Amino acid sequence: MYESFREPCAFNKFEDRKVTEQIYKTCIMAHKWQCFNVYKDYIFRCPEAIAISKNIKDEYLNENGLKVTGGVKFKQQLENYLFAKKPLSACKYCLGSCGQLKSIKQVTKEEQILNLNEPIKGKLDEIALNNALEDEVQDMETIREIIKF
């Protein structure tokens, strides 16, 4: 049984675009685990993009997800979306797989809201980020083979 997890995100964003890009580059949810989700006619690269789009003002489903249209161009749009090198707008609020380790425990909704409002910079595990930057995160070859792009 797990005793800890990595802090996933915050209600305030990174102002430094370079940090956001580094976190996105090393994010195993977006690039390795292939945690695609569908919500309200949109497909998302990761579950955090949905949570951020639903809970943070000025973040929208259509900015962080791809509307599932099924048209002739959709296959190309999906490929471009899933394999994009550029972080989503939601990534400014996300710690990817480099958040601070937290003990698993039950908290109230109020405690969680207070936690999410703490500065995001303090939630980043910079050692984990630096280690992840040294490792090669595999691009989504599995999904590329399944969908046959």
pLDDT-derived band of residue 137, with 50, 70 and 90 as boundaries? low
pLDDT, tens digit (0-9, with 9 covering 90-100), for 83-117: 888 999 999 999 999 999 999 999 999 999 899 89
> What whole-number distance in Å separates Cα of residue 129 and Cα of residue 115?
21
> What whole-number distance in Å separates Cα of residue 108 and Cα of residue 47?
21
> What whole-number distance in Å separates Cα of residue 27 and Cα of residue 88?
12
Q: What is the pLDDT of residue 76?
A: 92
Per the CB < 8 A criterion, the answer to whether 21 and 98 are in contact is: no
Q: Report the DSSP pairing between strands 101-103 and 66-67.
A: unpaired
**How much is the mean pLDDT over the chain?**
88
pLDDT-derived band of residue 147, with 50, 70 and 90 as boundaries? low
The whole-number average pLDDT for the span 58-82 is: 89
pLDDT, tens digit (0-9, with 9 covering 90-100), for 9-46: 999 999 999 999 999 999 988 888 888 899 999 999 99
Q: Cα angle vertex 67, ends 70, 95, to 5°?
A: 135
DSSP state at residue 37: E
Tokens at 46, concatenated: 């990761």
Report which of residues 104 and 144 the model is more confident about.
104
Per the CB < 8 A criterion, the answer to whether 62 and 42 are in contact is: yes
pLDDT, tens digit (0-9, with 9 covering 90-100), for 126-136: 999 999 898 86
* H or E stretch at 29: helix 28-31
Q: What is the pLDDT of residue 124?
A: 95
Per the CB < 8 A criterion, the answer to whether 14 and 20 are in contact is: yes
Instruction: Examine the pLDDT at 145 and tell me if it is beyond 70.
Output: no
